Amino acid sequence: MKIHLLVGLVLMLSGCGPDAPQAPAQTADMLKPAPFSLDALSPEVRVAVGRARAAEDAAKARAEVARKGGTAGVVVKEEVVEGIYEGPALMAHYEGDLKDGKYEGVGILTLPDSAISQAGEFSHGLMNGWGVERSVEGRPLYEGGWKDAAHDGLGVEWTQDGKVAQAGLWKDGGLAPK
């Protein structure tokens, strides 16, 4: 009787037995990258994503200035946009820098009809430079370089659950051939 009790106590204290947590499953979960983790990306793409996120932060700051009444050239603008993107005109909401009636500098462009927002650097009324595209729920869709509103340069496209869909060098909206 004393031996069985001692063995039972040792098993309880050592974490062994039928109620013990399963180490392999826990270890596997701990090794999974966090959603939207940069760990699987090349160093060059990581730098590009860092620049895109910095541009997004700058755009958020400018948008805040615009919402508070702005300064010269920093506005909140609602408009119907034609000719920027393929397809029918879209309703657009823009907060940020404006020059000669066009998006210029940093800002946030929200396109409710497309359920996306783009935050970062704008030139000639389009995303040009570094920036982040997000779903209206706030989930990143693409982070990286832009040219004339298309993915261009180094960047990453994300799946809904935060895994890398595609990453590398982009050209005219798609991954460039290797």
Amino acid at the residue 112: P
The structure's pTM equals 0.75
Of the candidates 141, 143, 145, which has an alpha carbon nearest to the alpha carbon of residue 132?
Answer: 143
Q: Tens digits of per-residue pLDDT, 9-45? A: 344 444 445 555 554 555 455 456 678 999 999 999 9
| In-domain check, residue 155 | yes
Question: Is residue 124 domain-resident?
Answer: yes
Cβ neighbours around 175 below 10 Å, total:
14
Helices assigned H by DSSP within the chain? 2-14, 23-31, 43-67
Could you tell me the sign of the dihedral formed by the alpha carbons of 61, 67, 71, 77, in that order? positive
Cα 75 to Cα 5, 107, 125, distances in angstroms: 76, 9, 14
Asked whether residue 75 is domain-assigned, the answer is: yes
Residue 19 lies in a domain: no
pLDDT (tens digit, 9 = 90+) per residue, 69-126? 766 567 677 776 655 555 555 678 888 898 888 899 999 999 887 889 999 999 998 9
* Residue 31 located in a structural domain: no
Domain that holds residue 98: 41-175
Q: Which amino acid is at 129?
A: G
The tally of domains found in the chain comes to 1
Residue 104 lies in a domain: yes
For residue 15, being part of any structural domain is answered with no
57 CB neighbour count, 10 Å cutoff: 14
Report the run of H or E that residue 144 belongs to, with start and end. Answer: strand 140-147
21 in a structural domain: no
**What's the rounded Cα separation, in Å, for the pair 38 and 98?**
32
